[in-house]
Amino acid sequence: MSDKTKILTLAQQSRREFLKYTALGISLPAVLSLLPSPVGGRAYAQSEHKISDDWLEISNKYGKPTGAFGKIGDPVVMTIGYQPYGTLHWTASVNKQAQLLLKYLPKGSRVVWFRALAGALINNNMLAGKNQFGYTSDTPGLSNGDKIRSDFVAASGYDLGEFGSICVPTKYLESGVLKDPKDLEGKPVATAFNSFSHRQMLTWMHEFGVKPELINQSIDQQMAGLHSGGIHAAALWEPYPSWMEMKGVAKRWMTGQDMPNTSQQYFPELEVKHFHDVGATLAIHDWLRDRPDVMGAYLKSEEECRDMLTNDPDTAAYFIWSDISEVPPAVIRSTIGMMVWDGRINEDMRKHLKACARQWKAEKMLQSERSQDPDKYVDEWADDRLLHLVMQQLEAEGRWTSNQQPGFPKPRVETQRQRHSWEKYKDFQPEPRLWTPTQVS
């Protein structure tokens, strides 16, 4: 099988097969060869009448178009890195499985989806030129913009404290080995370094004054360690904690609802009650500069995904389950309700991002010239102006948009503040159903 065929069929593979492909280090020459040939400045300029000046003004932030990705209106090949095993990034799974993006892109376009188990892997792919777009949590997203010429163009959504949990083996709780945070002093605790969970663990350690033996492990290693008891705790993100709890292997000992936000330490002007994570949708500057029309198509499809996740979560759960069918449907359906699917970057979210950037700067994980001043970095990097243009267009058609949501860090409904459990949906069976975007008066 050729590299091209492997890449184009990757999204259909099981998780185990995906890991095998990852180990092979498959490259993208076949896909990159499909990109449109560069066009001259005159041809590009002639295409600009297809899009309004508002769009062109925003894209000018990134310089003059080069035509490297074709002129406005030309078909494109998009390569997107996403995390199907991360609840907060499930706009991507819905988008991919429901094939929503293709209906907005110029006719003849193609989309290649690359599965990853963590944001760091997506960062590596974007740095290597294999992906032009990516979905990560806020913290690896900040590292992305620090190393790669990319911006945070919209949030996939945000959580209310439950996306991340500190999980402990059930047997350690039942035996009384672990009762209080101090019981983890000096004990082996695993997390994926440079991830959102790493940020949560560092924030938790500061809050409770505990110094465990922090170990850098992949998600698979953490789950194995929880099962064997080789680690005393692991900082994980959904759907893994609920999945482990359903299996009886581990319990969500403490979630973000049981600890303060990173801002308490690094940006106290932001007053929020709980720990939060924000899903970042990232795009490289080259595409933001050359193809504002494609960016508009992408953001429209993402808004439709947020619409489905908010207003028809059962249908969204079916598409997600079709992407990761080994995850129990009850877990998928339950964890969808932990999130607010709002793409906007409001002022409080910006303050939250600045707190994360300050922490990452203190941890020496932001080191480029762009991030020397972490506050200015966030102001430049987190730019959702294109999303607001998209929402204006959708609202003119009577469509639902993120403007219907309450805004970070508020819940959509008060019951979202309660801890969710897979048991509520133990009888849920995902079924394919017709989907129609929500119309609002």
Domains 35-158+276-425 and 164-266 share a fold: yes
User: Would you state the torsion angle of the CA atoms of residues 334, 337, 343, 349, taken in this order, to the nearest 10 degrees?
Assistant: -110
Residue 123 pLDDT grade (very low, low, confident, very high; cuts 50, 70, 90): confident
- What is the three-state SS of 187-226? CEEEECCCCHHHHHHHHHHHHHCCCCEEEECCHHHHHHHH
What pLDDT digit, counting tens, does each position of 150-178 carry? 999 999 999 999 999 999 999 999 999 99
CA distance linking residue 29 with residue 376, whole number of Å: 36
Secondary element (H or E) of residue 329:
helix 329-336
The structure tokens listed for 249 are 């292997």
Q: What is the per-residue pLDDT across 41-53, written as a single tens digit (0 to 9) for each? A: 454 455 555 788 9
* Cα angle value 355/361/362 (rounded, 5°): 90
Burial (0-12, 13-18, 19+ Cβ within 10 Å), 397: exposed
Q: Which CATH architecture has domain 164-266?
A: 3-Layer(aba) Sandwich (3.40)
Q: Give me the pLDDT at residue 47, please.
A: 56
pLDDT of residue 27 exceeding 50: no
Q: What is residue 124's predicted lDDT score, i.e. its pLDDT?
A: 84
Q: How far apart are CA 122 and CA 253, in angstroms?
A: 29
Give the model's pLDDT for residue 48. Answer: 57
Q: Is the pLDDT of residue 3 over 50?
A: no
Take residue 172 and report the two structure tokens written for it.
């350690």
What percent of the chain is predicted at pLDDT more than 90?
A: 82
Residue 219, pLDDT score: 87
The pLDDT, as a whole number, for residue 50 is 74
Confidence category of residue 130, pLDDT binned at 50, 70, 90: confident
* 190, 323 Cβ separation under 8 angstroms: no
Contact criterion met (CB below 8 Å) for 378 and 354:
yes
Report which of 249, 145, 230 is spatially closest to residue 190, judged by C-alpha positions.
230
* pLDDT recorded at residue 353: 98
**Does pLDDT of 7 surpass 80?**
no
Q: Name the nearest CA neighbour of 290 among 47, 111, 108.
A: 47
Token duo for residue 9: 């069929």
pLDDT in tens, 377-387: 999 999 999 99
CA geometry: angle 43, 49, 55, nearest 5 deg? 105
Q: Can you give the pTM of this predicted structure?
A: 0.88
C-alpha 243/C-alpha 220 separation (Å) is 13
Domain 35-158+276-425 fold is D-Maltodextrin-Binding Protein; domain 2 (3.40.190)
pLDDT of residue 126: 87
pLDDT of residue 116: 84
Half-sphere exposure of residue 348: CA atoms within 13 angstroms, side-chain side: 13
Q: Is the pLDDT of residue 358 over 90?
A: yes
Q: How high is the pLDDT of residue 385?
A: 97
**pLDDT over 70 at 11, yes or no:** no
Mean pLDDT of the chain: 89
What 3-state class would DSSP assign to 301? helix
pLDDT in tens, 365-405: 999 999 999 999 999 999 999 999 999 999 999 999 999 99
Q: Which of 117-131, 319-333, 427-441 has the lowest mean pLDDT?
A: 117-131
For the chain, the domains span 35-158+276-425, 164-266
- pLDDT tens figures, 190-229: 999 999 999 999 999 999 999 999 999 998 899 999 999 9
Q: In 3-state terms, what secondary structure has residue 111? A: strand
* Exposed / middle / buried, residue 263 (Cβ in 10 Å: 0-12, 13-18, 19+): buried
